[in-house]
Amino acid sequence: MRKLFAKPKNGLHGNLAVPGDKSISHRGIMFGSISEGKTILHHFLTADDCLSTLAAFKQLGVPIKRDGDEVEIRGVGLNGLSGTFEPLEMGNSGTTTRLIMGLLAGQRFNSILVGDASLSKRPMKRVSEPLSLMGADISVNDGHLPVVIHGTQLHGVDYQLKVASAQVKSSLILAALQADKPSTFVEKLPTRNHTEKMLNAFGADIETESDNLTIHVQPKPKLHGLELTIPGDMSSAAFFMVAGTLVPNSEVRLNNVGINDTRTGLLRILEKMGGNVELENRQDNGEPTADLVVKSANLKPIQIGAKDIPDVIDELPLVALLAARANGHSKITGASELRVKETDRIAAVSNEFKKLGIDISELPDGFDINGSDSWKPQTNTLDSHGDHRIGMTDAIAALLVDQPMNLNNPDIVSISYPEFFDDLQKLL
């Protein structure tokens, strides 16, 4: 149990460089490993999930050295991975698991993927079923881990994705790189495009049409290593954007944050709600970045539907927190994907917010929230539900009540942001 910070008298102030982007850190290890030559990653996220990816590719025979947040990868090429008799340990990382399924499906060896109790409850058929249409031979245990992959020759396909998921799309793209002919994938809604952008930087031939939904993948590219500085993670910066917005008398600067269009849903939501966020020092070295300057603001309620969800999927607990502080009625729908995250995030957010005295109702695919700036907590103990993003959302919510709060299972934040509590302390 950890005692959380109580409401600060003078607001939050200071500069932070948030950790490297989680999505890009995962992909940097994977794409560097299947390239030829050396890849160097600067500002790599040293959180548990990304370290699971790093360990898995070392186990697959890739020489990788890490010194703090700098990683050097000696790539083995698309066909150079080595099989292992030991299962590959995925830890808690859904990204590692789902992306590696597409990659290993086209290799010349068999693999077994295992993970922790939380990951073992998450759905894997959403990946294995479309991969099977490409000829993949994958056994999933009642739709979950452990997953057994029998590497085989894959075939190009034209496929319409059934779920709006960057992980599923990325898995299919990695399979398509190894197929016998080109593939075309059509998304339901645009999702994060880091896989397409980064693979093209490594030398792949992936074209996205102007609809931002149709993706053409040419097989058998010659990928080459590169040097990459990973921008700050928007999903980590989001906690301090929301804290700076909601805690009165605050001004917070978040340096060098990635502002890829597919990741800035929270910025757009804050703008609609009347938030005060300025973007300064914009740069673009493959992935666009900016410094975010956040000041306190009084917010208006908001209505969010399915089309808004993919760009803000990881930040939805924080969007619910913004709505809980905005005076009036907000509604979030189209977010049933939250039910199958590290925990059922719809149930977990509703449970924790009710403890704080927030008027929130759980919907099948979201939340109904009557916002107010005066909450009356029912307890002094919150719970992370074994989910890093719920734990960090609880910590930001605790800054908005007068009494000190405690948090059960706080160490889970190390999944994505090991320095979270230290960084929050700096702003206090």
What are the structural domain ranges in the chain? 2-20+231-427, 22-229
Specify the pLDDT at position 6.
Answer: 84
Active site residue ranges: 314
User: Residues 78-95: pLDDT tens digits?
Assistant: 999 999 999 999 999 999
Specify the pLDDT at position 170.
Answer: 98
List, in order, residues 6 or more apart from 287 with CB less than 8 Å away.
21, 24, 194, 197, 231, 258, 260
User: Residues 59-72: pLDDT tens digits?
Assistant: 999 999 999 999 99
pLDDT at 5 over 90: no
3-state helix, strand, coil in the chain (%, to 5): 35, 25, 40
Q: Closest Cα partner for 212 from 311, 284, 289, 335?
A: 311
Is residue 122 a contact partner of residue 128, using CB atoms and an 8 Å limit? Answer: no
Is it true that 2-20+231-427 and 22-229 share their CATH fold? yes
Fold of 2-20+231-427: UDP-n-acetylglucosamine1-carboxyvinyl-transferase; Chain (3.65.10)
Neighbours of 4 (CB within 10 A): 23
> What percentage of the chain reaches a pLDDT higher than 90?
96
Tell me what the mean pLDDT of segment 322-351 comes to.
96
Query: pTM for this one?
Result: 0.90
How far apart, in whole angstroms, are the C-alpha atoms of residue 395 and residue 410? 9
Specify the pLDDT at position 285.
Answer: 78
Specify the pLDDT at position 176.
Answer: 98
Q: Closest Cα partner for 383 from 424, 342, 349?
A: 349
The C-alpha torsion from 385 through 391 and 393 to 396, rounded to 10°, is 140
Specify the pLDDT at position 309.
Answer: 94
User: Residues 221-271: pLDDT tens digits?
Assistant: 999 999 999 999 999 999 999 999 999 999 999 999 999 999 999 999 999
C-alpha neighbours within 13 Å on the C-beta side of residue 136: 33
Fold of 22-229: UDP-n-acetylglucosamine1-carboxyvinyl-transferase; Chain (3.65.10)
β-strands 158-160, 183-186 pairing:
parallel
